[in-house]
């Protein structure tokens, strides 16, 4: 379960809040979509949730464990696929994944089993022995995804996961997200692709200027905003012509 | 400990692959690896050769004076001072400006583990300098005076531990700077100003420590005391900083002081890691945070002004340099600070030692009435030796890093991009030369002509250096880097450019000797050298404009 408790963040003593008093609870077994226009605060929220950024105020809890007070324990439960997938360049895919597994204390047997499964799933077996610097953007994204899943995390967090993936890999990733969800894990992801959120998510939150604009199932949002598609709801709640950079 | 071992192993693997000349991309030929290997071997031999030659000469002089043990103090002093000088920016860059901090931050790794791993990484990269300075002199001393195997063991121990204390100081200073700048909204500007202040403090400290040895020659009574053995020689040279004395005495066989040196060194490292690693990840990530500002209708008119592509590209290059503390400080250190300090310091030194008569000083040294050309040539060589450290030009392509594709995609000629890169580096050289000339003319007004000629030759030499730097960087760009320090200071292309610059200076030196030996007049000599530099600059400029730009347009990032 993920809980955001009055979470706020301002960068570098700025008076502008990138995230403003965010309150959300996401139970286990949910596939939660986090959407919003550019610069709305999605990546900042995810970075605070994964312990990369320290909140200015408020806290995030993973299964009741505070990321601020017990970051190590909380991080052990998270698998995170960052936006852009900036990975270590001069290591091979397999070395990178073994390194990540070591950080999470994954046994050799578990590592082998999961590695075989995910390398097969994402069709990376042939490339695993090559250095990451020779990988395409999609291959990097897939390697980062395997890295996030190699320790079988309770909470799977993805920042714009479909970026750079080909249709097949995108489909496979969506299936994997659903599978994680069916295993009782929490999947939390941000996306700009509203169709993906519409088809995949059990619940959706829309964020604007760092504040929660709406939250609920697609049905609840439709009823509340009296709109048919998620696109209409999104445009209604965020307004047109938003274009600030995140 | 397991996490520390794994991070270290990953870091070492990446570093070794970076250094491995045969670790090539798909587009490179195998012969490129061999050429790179040969280049690295030549460079290492040259650096080692220079150090050994210098130490050999010092040892020879000390053996005549029967003060050979003084070399022990000198080499430890040199190793620690050099590490302090180069280590500060290595610390700042590795600890607070590494691009992979966010990757580590998402993993269950404590700040202490990550800090310790990075500290070891910094130590290993700086250790080479210490080994290079301490080992050759010690081995020479052992050959000349017959020391035993225990001496060699002590040498290795001191050489390995010598960089620790200066790096601890560097790490502490960089942590203070990062924490202080974190308190302010314009942290980049604060970091930059802070770095420049630290450089100036370092230069002052280095200069005042350097005076310890300088005083020896200046003060006849001190020299007498040395010769009559009434003062411990090593104490004299190392008195400024006790750990140097302990290390030097330790090398000389005093096990107690060697143990003291080891303990103090290791304790300093442990203390610094303990102090600086608290909240380390937050501090390191804070350096990457940028304030969000919502300007509404406050854009200045200049933001809309149209520029020619070369001006826009130059402006982008300059913004990149001026907004990055690592780039800016590395650049102004080599192209502005060092030439100014060296030439002005040297000028004042001569002036004070020879009652302000620089010409008399040079006449005395060179043994003839020499005019303005020779002093100007010497001064130009010195200015250009330092200005050869112009790392902006010689790393301008490598610094594009992962964003090289953006340049490839621009609808402008490769030559336009390269001229913008050239100008961004050359501007710093011009500033350095202008300051040297103005300060020189004010401090020594009698020698305006010398400084004017120096300025002209330096401008031409630096132009050549900058173009060579770009040609080299285009031929072997290093796009995969993790810290800005790696992109700039630890870029082999910069060293290669510096070496070629030194080679040209050396060749011009030989030519100078030949022309005067041949009986050429001073005016003739000035004309020949100027013409030669102009022709070389033009030829290299044409080469860069046509040949190098074609190559630049085909680089795969």
A165-223 pLDDT, tens digit per residue, is: 888 888 999 999 999 999 999 999 998 888 888 888 999 999 988 899 889 888 888 88
Q: Do B285 and A16 touch (CB under 8 A)?
A: no
Q: Do B103 and A86 touch (CB under 8 A)?
A: yes
Q: Is the pLDDT of residue B258 over 80?
A: yes
Q: State how beta strands A31-35 and A203-208 pair.
A: parallel
Q: Which two tokens stand for residue B216?
A: 């020896």
- Which residue in B8, B51, B15, B10 sits closest to B485, CA to CA? B15
pLDDT at B352: 58
Task: Flag the least confident range among A109-113, A117-121, A227-231.
Answer: A227-231
Please classify residue B12 by burial: count the beta carbons closer than 10 Å to its beta carbon, then call 0-12 exposed, 13-18 middle and 19+ buried. Answer: middle
Q: Do A95 and B294 touch (CB under 8 A)?
A: no
- Which residue in B346, B383, B384 sits closest to B365, CA to CA? B346
Q: Which two tokens stand for residue B192?
A: 């930059």
Beta bridge partners of A66: A61
Q: Is the pLDDT of residue A109 over 60?
A: yes
Do B89 and B6 belong together in one domain?
yes
User: Is the minimum CB–CB distance between A233 and chain B shorter than 8 Å?
Assistant: no
| B218 in any annotated domain | no
| B400 in any annotated domain | yes
pLDDT at A246: 41
Q: Which residue has the higher pLDDT, B58 or A233?
A: A233
pLDDT interval class at B214 (50, 70, 90): very low
Q: Which two tokens stand for residue B116?
A: 């310790």
Q: Which residue has the tokens 């500002």?
A: B293
- Which residue in B80, B81, B82, B60 sits closest to B71, CA to CA? B60
User: Is the minimum CB–CB distance between A243 and chain B shorter than 8 Å?
Assistant: no
Q: Which residue has the higher pLDDT, B75 or B342?
A: B75
Phi and psi at residue B200, in whole multiples of 5°?
-65, -40
How many angstroms separate the CA atoms of B430 and B367, rounded?
33
> Which residues, in sequence order, are CB contacts of B316 under 8 Å at separation 6+?
B420
Q: Which two tokens stand for residue B368?
A: 């003839």
| B203 in any annotated domain | no
- Which residue in B94, B125, B88 sits closest to B284, CA to CA? B94
pLDDT at B539: 95
Q: Is the pLDDT of residue A90 over 90?
A: no
Task: Flag the least confident range among B69-78, B341-350, B435-444, B524-533.
Answer: B341-350
Highest mean pLDDT among A145-154, A193-202, B200-209, B370-379: A145-154
Q: Is the pLDDT of residue B361 over 80?
A: no
Q: Is the pLDDT of residue B38 over 80?
A: no
Do B368 and B273 belong together in one domain?
no
Within 8 A of B17 by CB-CB distance, chain A residues are 90-91, 131
Instruction: Please say whether the beta carbons of B546 and B412 come within 8 A.
Output: no
Instruction: Give the percent of chain B with pLDDT over 90.
Output: 14
Average of per-residue pLDDT across B477-501: 81
**How many angstroms separate the CA of residue A189 from the nearest CA in chain B?**
16
Instruction: Please say whether the beta carbons of A191 and A160 come within 8 A.
Output: yes
Q: Which residue has the higher pLDDT, B46 or B112?
A: B112
**How many angstroms separate the CA of residue B28 from the nearest CA in chain A?**
13
**How many angstroms separate the CA of residue A226 from the nearest CA in chain B?**
32
Q: Is the pLDDT of residue A77 over 90?
A: yes
| B234 in any annotated domain | no
Nearest CB to B106; choose among A16, A52, A133: A52
User: Is the minimum CB–CB distance between B179 and chain A shorter than 8 Å?
Assistant: no
How many angstroms separate the CA atoms of B333 and B432, rounded?
10
How many angstroms separate the CA atoms of B42 and B511, rounded?
24
Beta bridge partners of A25: A3
From the candidates A8, A12, A80, which should be mutated to test the interface with B, based on the most B CB atoms within 10 A? A12
Average of per-residue pLDDT across A98-119: 90
- C-alpha torsion sign, points B412, B413, B418, B424: negative
How many angstroms separate the CA atoms of B201 and B557, rounded?
39
Instruction: Please say whether the beta carbons of B190 and B268 come within 8 A.
Output: no
- Extents of the domains making up chain A: 2-77+153-238, 87-152
Torsion, CA B47, CA B52, CA B58, CA B64, rounded to 10? -160
User: Is the minimum CB–CB distance between A55 and chain B shorter than 8 Å?
Assistant: no
Task: Flag the least confident range among B78-87, B172-181, B232-241, B480-489.
Answer: B232-241
Q: Which residue has the higher pLDDT, A52 or A79?
A: A79
- Which residue in B425, B445, B435, B326 sits closest to B383, CA to CA? B435
User: Is the minimum CB–CB distance between A200 and chain B shorter than 8 Å?
Assistant: no
How many angstroms separate the CA atoms of B82 and B418, rounded?
34
The number of residues making up chain A comes to 246
Do B185 and B54 belong together in one domain?
yes
Q: Give the Å distances, CA to CA, from A5 to A24, A187, B446.
A: 7, 18, 74
pLDDT, tens only, B367-420: 555 667 777 787 778 777 766 667 888 899 998 887 787 777 777 788 889 999
Total of domains in chain B: 2
Residue A89 CB coordination number (10 Å): 21
pLDDT at B233: 54
Nearest CB to A51; choose among B100, B105, B480: B105
User: Is the minimum CB–CB distance between A100 and chain B shorter than 8 Å?
Assistant: yes
Nearest CB to A104; choose among B108, B291, B293: B108
- Which residue in B54, B83, B53, B59 sits closest to B71, CA to CA? B59
Nearest CB to B102; choose among A12, A52, A90: A52
How many angstroms separate the CA atoms of B446 and B449, rounded?
8
pLDDT at B30: 59
Q: Do B102 and A103 touch (CB under 8 A)?
A: no
CA B502 to chain centre: 15
Tell me which of 3.40.50.300, 2.60.40.10, 1.20.1050.10, 3.40.50.12370 is the CATH number of domain A2-77+153-238.
3.40.50.300
Residue A131 is given by DSSP the state B
Q: Do B14 and A91 touch (CB under 8 A)?
A: yes
Nearest CB to B185; choose among A14, A87, A88: A14
From the candidates B108, B191, B401, B477, which should be mutated to test the interface with A, based on the most A CB atoms within 10 A? B108
CA B393 to chain centre: 15
User: Is the minimum CB–CB distance between B14 and chain A shorter than 8 Å?
Assistant: yes
pLDDT at A245: 41
From the candidates A19, A83, A103, which should be mutated to test the interface with B, based on the most B CB atoms within 10 A? A103
Q: Give the Å distances, CA to CA, from A18 to A191, A210, A212, B172, B517.
A: 18, 5, 12, 32, 73
Phi and psi at residue A189, in whole multiples of 5°?
-140, 150
Q: Domain end: B234, B255, B286, which one?
A: B286
Average of per-residue pLDDT across B505-520: 86
| B221 in any annotated domain | no
Instruction: Please say whether the beta carbons of A210 and B292 come within 8 A.
Output: no
Nearest CB to B107; choose among A13, A75, A90: A75
Q: Do B185 and A13 touch (CB under 8 A)?
A: yes
Residue A241 CB coordination number (10 Å): 6
How many angstroms separate the CA atoms of B329 and B335, rounded?
10
Do B269 and B382 belong together in one domain?
no
Within 8 A of A60 by CB-CB distance, chain B residues are none
Q: State how beta strands A31-35 and A57-62 pair.
A: unpaired
3-class DSSP assignment, residue A3? strand
> Which residues, in sequence order, are CB contacts of A205 under 8 Å at separation 6+?
A24, A32, A33, A34, A35, A212, A214, A215
Q: Which two tokens stand for residue A15?
A: 């008076």
Do B11 and B159 belong together in one domain?
yes
What is the pTM (predicted TM-score) of this model? 0.72
Q: Do B289 and A11 touch (CB under 8 A)?
A: yes
Average of per-residue pLDDT across A29-57: 90
Beta bridge partners of A216: A204
Q: Do A133 and B25 touch (CB under 8 A)?
A: yes
Q: Do A244 and B294 touch (CB under 8 A)?
A: yes
E strand map for B38-142: none
Q: Is the pLDDT of residue A130 over 90?
A: no
Do B368 and B417 belong together in one domain?
yes
Q: Is the pLDDT of residue B220 over 50?
A: no
Q: Is the pLDDT of residue A46 over 70?
A: yes
How many angstroms separate the CA atoms of B258 and A3, rounded?
56
User: Is the minimum CB–CB distance between A94 and chain B shorter than 8 Å?
Assistant: no
pLDDT interval class at B188 (50, 70, 90): low
Q: Which residue has the tokens 């400080």?
A: B329
Q: Which residue has the higher pLDDT, B24 or B5?
A: B5
Instruction: Please say whether the beta carbons of B102 and B24 come within 8 A.
Output: no
- C-alpha torsion sign, points B133, B135, B137, B138: positive
| Closest chain A residue to the Cα of B110, Cα to Cα | A72
Instruction: Please say whether the beta carbons of A104 and A151 come within 8 A.
Output: yes
A84: left (phi over 0), alpha (psi -120 to 50) or beta: left
| B231 in any annotated domain | no
| B213 in any annotated domain | no
| Closest chain B residue to the Cα of A246, Cα to Cα | B292
pLDDT interval class at A150 (50, 70, 90): very high
**How many angstroms separate the CA of residue B391 from the nearest CA in chain A?**
24
User: Is the minimum CB–CB distance between B110 and chain A shorter than 8 Å?
Assistant: yes
Q: How many CB pairs under 8 A join A and B?
A: 93
pLDDT at B503: 86
Q: Which two tokens stand for residue B531?
A: 């013409």
Q: State how beta strands A2-10 and A57-62 pair.
A: antiparallel
Beta bridge partners of A207: A212
Domain that holds residue B459: 309-552
- Which residue in A138, A124, A118 sits closest to A92, CA to CA? A124
How many angstroms separate the CA atoms of B487 and B473, rounded?
11
Do B325 and B460 belong together in one domain?
yes
How many angstroms separate the CA atoms of B141 and B68, rounded?
8
Do B508 and B379 belong together in one domain?
yes
Q: Which residue has the tokens 């700039």?
A: B488
Phi and psi at residue A19, in whole multiples of 5°?
-130, 135
Q: Do A13 and B100 touch (CB under 8 A)?
A: no
How many angstroms separate the CA atoms of B197 and B205, rounded?
12
Do B410 and B520 belong together in one domain?
yes
Please classify residue B203 by burial: count the beta carbons closer than 10 Å to its beta carbon, then call 0-12 exposed, 13-18 middle and 19+ buried. Answer: middle
Within 8 A of B480 by CB-CB distance, chain A residues are 89-90, 133
Q: Which residue has the higher pLDDT, A106 or B345?
A: A106
- C-alpha torsion sign, points A95, A101, A107, A109: negative
Q: Which residue has the higher pLDDT, B229 or B376?
A: B376
**How many angstroms separate the CA of residue A135 from the nearest CA in chain B?**
11
| B227 in any annotated domain | no
Average of per-residue pLDDT across B519-535: 89
Please classify residue A235 by burial: count the beta carbons closer than 10 Å to its beta carbon, then call 0-12 exposed, 13-18 middle and 19+ buried. Answer: middle
How many angstroms separate the CA atoms of B533 and B459, rounded?
10
Beta bridge partners of A81: A158
pLDDT interval class at B351 (50, 70, 90): low
**How many angstroms separate the CA of residue A219 from the nearest CA in chain B?**
34
How many angstroms separate the CA atoms of A77 and A73, rounded?
7
Q: Domain end: B286, B319, B348, which one?
A: B286
**How many angstroms separate the CA of residue B179 from the nearest CA in chain A?**
12
From the candidates A90, A101, A130, which should be mutated to test the interface with B, based on the most B CB atoms within 10 A? A90
pLDDT at A34: 93
Residue B86 CB coordination number (10 Å): 18
Within 8 A of B294 by CB-CB distance, chain A residues are 16, 244
pLDDT, tens only, B285-310: 876 666 555 555 555 666 666 777 88
> Which residues, in sequence order, are CB contacts of B521 under 8 Å at separation 6+?
none
Average pLDDT, chain B: 78
Do B172 and B103 belong together in one domain?
yes
């Amino acid at each position: 379960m993920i809980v955001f408790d009055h979470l706020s963040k301002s960068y570098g003593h700025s008076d502008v809040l990138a995230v403003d008093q965010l309150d959300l609870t996401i139970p286990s077994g949910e596939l939660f979509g986090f959407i919003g226009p550019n610069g709305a605060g999605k990546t900042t929220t995810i970075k605070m949730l994964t312990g990369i950024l320290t909140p200015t105020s408020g806290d995030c809890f993973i299964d009741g464990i505070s990321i601020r007070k017990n970051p190590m324990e909380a991080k052990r439960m998270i698998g995170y696929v960052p936006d852009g997938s900036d990975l270590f360049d001069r290591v091979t895919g397999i070395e990178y994944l073994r390194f990540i597994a070591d950080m999470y204390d994954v046994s050799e047997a578990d590592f082998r089993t999961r590695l075989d499964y995910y390398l097969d799933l994402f069709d990376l077996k042939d490339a695993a022995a090559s250095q990451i610097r020779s990988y395409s953007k999609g291959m990097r994204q897939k390697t980062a995804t395997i890295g996030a899943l190699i320790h079988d995390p309770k909470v799977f967090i993805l920042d714009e996961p479909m970026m750079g993936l080909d249709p097949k890999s995108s489909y496979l990733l969506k299936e994997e997200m659903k599978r994680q969800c069916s295993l009782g894990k929490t999947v939390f992801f941000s996306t700009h692709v509203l169709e993906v959120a519409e088809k995949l998510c059990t619940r959706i939150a829309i964020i604007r200027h760092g504040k929660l604009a709406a939250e609920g199932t697609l049905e609840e949002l439709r009823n509340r905003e009296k709109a048919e598609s998620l696109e209409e709801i999104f445009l209604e709640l965020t307004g047109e012509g938003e274009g600030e950079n995140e | 400990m397991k996490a520390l071992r794994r991070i270290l192993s990953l870091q070492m693997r990446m570093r070794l692959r970076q250094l491995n000349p045969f670790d090539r991309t798909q587009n490179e030929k195998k012969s490129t690896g061999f050429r790179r290997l040969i280049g690295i071997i030549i460079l290492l031999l040259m650096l080692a050769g220079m150090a050994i030659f210098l130490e050999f000469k010092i040892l020879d002089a000390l053996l005549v004076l029967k003060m050979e043990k003084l070399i022990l103090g000198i080499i430890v002093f040199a190793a620690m001072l050099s590490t302090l000088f180069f280590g500060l920016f290595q610390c700042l860059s590795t600890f607070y400006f590494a691009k992979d901090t966010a990757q580590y931050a998402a993993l269950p790794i404590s700040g202490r583990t990550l800090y310790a791993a990075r500290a070891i990484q910094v130590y290993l990269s700086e250790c080479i300098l210490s080994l290079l300075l301490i080992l050759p002199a010690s081995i020479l001393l052992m050959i000349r005076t017959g020391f035993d195997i225990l001496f060699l063991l002590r040498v290795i121990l001191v050489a390995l531990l010598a960089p620790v204390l200066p790096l601890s100081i560097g790490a502490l200073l960089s942590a203070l700077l990062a924490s202080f700048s974190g308190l302010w909204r314009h942290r980049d500007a604060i970091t930059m100003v802070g770095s420049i202040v630290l450089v100036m403090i370092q230069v002052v400290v280095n200069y005042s420590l350097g005076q310890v040895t300088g005083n020896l020659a200046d003060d006849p009574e001190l020299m007498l005391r040395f010769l009559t053995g009434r003062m411990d020689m090593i104490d004299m040279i190392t008195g400024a900083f006790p750990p140097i004395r302990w290390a030097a005495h330790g090398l000389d066989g005093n096990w107690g002081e060697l143990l003291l040196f080891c303990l103090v060194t290791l304790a300093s490292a442990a203390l610094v890691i303990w102090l600086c690693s608290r909240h380390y990840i937050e501090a390191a990530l804070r350096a990457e945070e940028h304030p969000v500002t919502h300007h509404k209708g406050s854009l200045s008119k200049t933001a809309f002004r149209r520029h020619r592509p070369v001006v826009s590209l130059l402006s982008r290059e300059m913004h990149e340099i001026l907004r990055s503390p690592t780039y800016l400080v590395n650049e102004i250190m080599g192209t502005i600070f060092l030439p100014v300090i060296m030439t002005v310091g040297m000028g004042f030194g001569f002036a004070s030692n020879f009652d302000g008569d620089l010409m008399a000083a040079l006449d005395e040294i060179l043994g003839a009435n020499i005019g303005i050309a020779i002093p100007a040539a010497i001064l130009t060589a010195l200015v250009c030796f330092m200005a050869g450290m112009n790392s902006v030009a010689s790393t301008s392509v490598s610094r594009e890093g992962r964003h090289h594709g953006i340049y490839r995609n621009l609808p402008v000629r490769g030559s336009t991009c390269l001229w913008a890169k050239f100008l961004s580096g050359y501007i710093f050289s011009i500033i350095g030369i202008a300051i040297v000339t103005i300060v020189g003319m004010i401090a020594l007004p009698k020698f305006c002509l010398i400084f004017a000629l120096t300025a002209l030759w330096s401008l031409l030499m630096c132009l050549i250096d900058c173009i060579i730097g770009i040609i080299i960087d285009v031929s072997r760009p290093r796009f995969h880097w993790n810290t800005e320090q790696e992109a700039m200071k630890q870029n082999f292309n910069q060293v290669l450019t510096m070496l070629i610059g030194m080679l040209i200076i050396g060749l011009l030196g030989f030519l100078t000797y030949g022309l005067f030996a041949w009986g050429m007049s001073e005016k003739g000599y000035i004309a020949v050298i100027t013409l030669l530099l102009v022709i070389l600059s033009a030829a290299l400029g044409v080469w860069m404009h046509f040949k190098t730009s074609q190559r630049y347009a085909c680089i795969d990032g």
